[in-house]
Amino acid sequence: MEDCIFCKIANGEIPANIVYESENVLAFDDINPMAPVHVVVVPRVHVATLMDVSNGMMDEMISAVQEIAKIKGVDKKGFRTVINCNEDGGQIIFHLHIHILGGRKLSDEMG
Ligand code: 5GP
Ligand code: ZN
């Protein structure tokens, strides 16, 4: 989709530090990390929000999360995944993404 930052990263139009790639999924370091590990996992195709996900789409996304946790060395100590959805959820980029946060003890606050 035109003017979507994450589509542009997926197309190679905008650089990013890619940490994982599979057929339908791409992951890269967040440009403004909120923790020592902060990776964003996206589908290659443009899907705006979690509400637009169709059946089966998340399987490869979750497999990616598992692999990235190992790559980043947070699989044993733990990490947090976040999907912000729409305005009240704090979504800023309207291309579906899973945040992976780790590398430090995260706060107990969920919002
Ligand atoms: P949201 O609030 O939509 O869930 O999160 C969007 C995330 O994308 C933010 O954490 C932000 O730092 C990250 N982000 C925004 N623009 C870019 C960019 O151009 N490159 C990378 N790597 N991350 C970005
Ligand atoms: Zn997009």
For tokens 């606050």, what's the residue? 109
CB of 90 sitting under 6 A from ligand 1 = yes
CB of 89 sitting under 6 A from ligand 1 = no
Task: List, in order, residues 6 or more apart from 43 with CB less than 8 Å away.
Answer: 24, 25, 26, 57, 60, 61, 96
Band of the pLDDT at 110, cuts 50, 70, 90? confident
**Each residue's pLDDT tens digit, 24-80:** 999 999 999 999 999 999 999 999 999 999 988 899 999 999 999 999 999 999 999
The CATH architecture of the domain made up of 5-99 is 2-Layer Sandwich (3.30)
Of 80 and 109, the structure prediction assigns the larger pLDDT to 80
pLDDT at residue 28 in the model:
98
Alpha carbon of 55 to ligand 1 centroid (Å):
25
